[in-house]
Each structure stands twice: as C-alpha cells, then as structure tokens.
Amino acid sequence: MKLAHHLETVRKSFLTFALGCTAFAAHAAEDRPNILFIFTDDQSHRTVSCYKEAYPWVKTPNIDALAAQGVRFTHAYMGTWCMPSRATMLTGHHQFGVESMRMQGTYPGSIYDPEKCPFWPSIFRMHGYSTAQIGKWHTGVDSGYGRDWDHQIVWSRPK
C-alpha cells in the first residue's frame, strides 16, 4: 500500500467514523467524569503515535494528549467490521447476538428494537449525562437520536 493512500485511509477513519467520538459531557454533578469514547473501525493501532508499535512517521499529538490523561486499550477483539462492529460496540452484544439490528429490505432499510438491544449511551443519558454521537453511522435508519443521544451529527447514506 502506498504511503499517501495509507495516510488518506487513516484520515478517513478518523474523520468519517468518529462514532467513536461518542462524546459525553457531564452537566449535573462535578464529581462525575467527562467521558470521550473514540471508536474507529478499519484502523490499525499503528496509526496512532501513543502506541509503541506505531509507524515512525505517524504523528497524532492531540489524540496522544487525550490518551496520556485517559484510558486506552492495548488489546481488543471485535470479530467483525463496518455495520456489525458498530452494532456490537453500541449494544455490548457479540455480532451474532445483535438480534434486533439488521439491514433489511431496500437500502437503507433496517429493523431495530431499542428495548431488545439498547445502545449503552442511553444509560449515561438516563443518569444525567448529555450524550452526543458524531461521525459515520451506516447502521440503518434508526440512529437513536432523541432516545440515546441528545446531540447527533452523522454522515449516513442516503441522508
């Protein structure tokens, strides 16, 4: 893979899928932490410079600063990619256990039962956090806005 193509892939991963940028801002109690959860799919840990295995040419100072004061994961298993990886992350179920979130019918048709497989950010919302989701959606037509997220800016086909 050419370097320019690889850099463009990294840039797109950060910009177009910041569902990872599931941002939470605590507004009611000062003793609760602010939580910024960044989730990117199709991205290697070698493309973030705070990891020791990062390519030598990778420079991500802003993400490195967040990582220095927060939690970062050194091992993860998702078992899938794209829409199923987001469904897995949002519901906490393995990809075969996400029974109610399926692409169905004419694109972007989908079915989703939030009672059966709730998105975990809704729990934060129920406990007084202001929740936001920013980035690529591609998980059907039900984005959870107003139920799971107080604020949402998504890039989603065909919207």
Structural domain includes residue 63: no
Q: Is 21 a known active-site residue?
A: no
Q: Is 50 a known active-site residue?
A: no
Which of 27, 82, 127, 151 is labelled catalytic?
Answer: 82
Which of 45, 75, 138, 151 is labelled catalytic?
Answer: 138
* Token digits of residue 58: 């990778």
Structural domain includes residue 85: yes
In tens, the pLDDT along 80-108 reads 667 777 778 888 888 777 777 776 777 66
Structural domain includes residue 124: yes
In tens, the pLDDT along 102-140 reads 767 776 667 778 888 788 888 899 899 999 988 877 777
Structurally, the chain folds into a number of domains equal to: 1
pTM above 0.85, yes or no: no
Task: Assess whether pLDDT exceeds 90 at residue 59.
Answer: yes
- pLDDT value of residue 79: 66
Q: How far is CA 34 from CA 66, 128, 129, in A?
A: 12, 12, 9
| Domain with 101 in it | 3-39+77-155
